Structure 1
């Protein structure tokens, strides 16, 4: 009879196996997103208060995996299929916002004549505390980033217009 009772409880082994598999999935997403160790540990600390996946509970592992999947984390096999991409494919709820980010970066390049890449957007996101890269910011923060890029483009266009006016007046 005692043996029957232990049979119906979830075994410690199965919980540990699920934890190990979760940690492996987190590490695979880290590689897929090409997160350096400092960025990865900062993300863990923000989400869970811990800096190592081995310290996470099952619930925390789930929270981290959800976050990484929303950020566009893909399996290494999917990443291999998308050969040549340097950034993860954005999740569906972020795709339109990422298209706007690219559009404003192109507009900034047109206005200034200088290249504006996603690294520029990453720097804005980092400076504002939204995340280390645009790939990891929340959709709300991504919306704020679009606004920041739009304001920057308007400001740069105004500056270019003023500069042209000064040059035309001085000639």
Structure 2
């Protein structure tokens, strides 16, 4: 029986392994010692949590998410992906985060999230960012 937390735990185990610079043979020996299995894909949730607890004792610290602080790239339909890519580039060039684009969409159209905008609205946010970039000498 798979649960929703298992994939996230499995990903954390692989990230911790990489960040701790564990070689494959040492990693597999550690898995056998802790769980009796040679591969993390064969572990259930409690076993994955046990491995993560051991990695934490070894000094691994999970990275803190910046998504809440800075916002995250909106998930949009394919027709808007080119606009979203350009918005992302303009934000990066200006040193701004996705929360800036979200606030811009909110002020311009009264929508709470950029992904709720239609194609024309997303394009308008992109154009507004281009105008702002040119105004500050970052444009063409």
Shorter-chain TM-score category?
Answer: 0.3 to 0.5
Structure number with the higher helix fraction is 1
